[in-house]
């Protein structure tokens, strides 16, 4: 465990940031799973509507450093290609 005052604060910050990052990643995974489920059920219009939410979540995560910029771009590209291919 941390001993110095600054190390204790760093630990508190790390815990908060980890929680925030995990929430962002979970939201992205849930949206991707939901979109893939809709595509499997042939509900392409609903899946396309969810794409904008996914884009927003990916862009936000990339902006704040939860995921890298190219990772966000790759995920957006692949899921869009998946949705459009099946329509």
- Supply the CATH number for residue 79's domain: 1.20.58.110
Q: In the chain, which residues have pLDDT < 70?
A: none
- The whole domain housing 55 covers 5-86
- DSSP structure string for 9-70: HHHHHHHHHHHHHHHHHHHHHHHHHHHHHHHHTT-HHHHHHHHHHHHHHHHHHHHHTSS-HH
Q: How far apart are CA 7 and CA 15, in angstroms?
A: 12
pLDDT given for residue 74 in this prediction: 98
pLDDT given for residue 86 in this prediction: 84
Structurally, the chain folds into a number of domains equal to 1
């Amino acid at each position: 465990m941390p001993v110095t005052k600054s190390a204790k604060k760093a630990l508190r910050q790390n815990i908060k940031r980890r929680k925030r990052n995990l929430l962002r990643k979970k939201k992205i995974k849930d949206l991707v799973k939901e979109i893939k489920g809709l595509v499997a059920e042939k509900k392409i219009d609903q899946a396309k509507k969810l794409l904008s939410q996914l884009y927003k979540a990916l862009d936000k995560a990339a902006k704040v450093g939860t995921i890298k910029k190219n990772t966000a771009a790759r995920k957006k590209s692949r899921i869009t290609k998946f949705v459009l291919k099946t329509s």
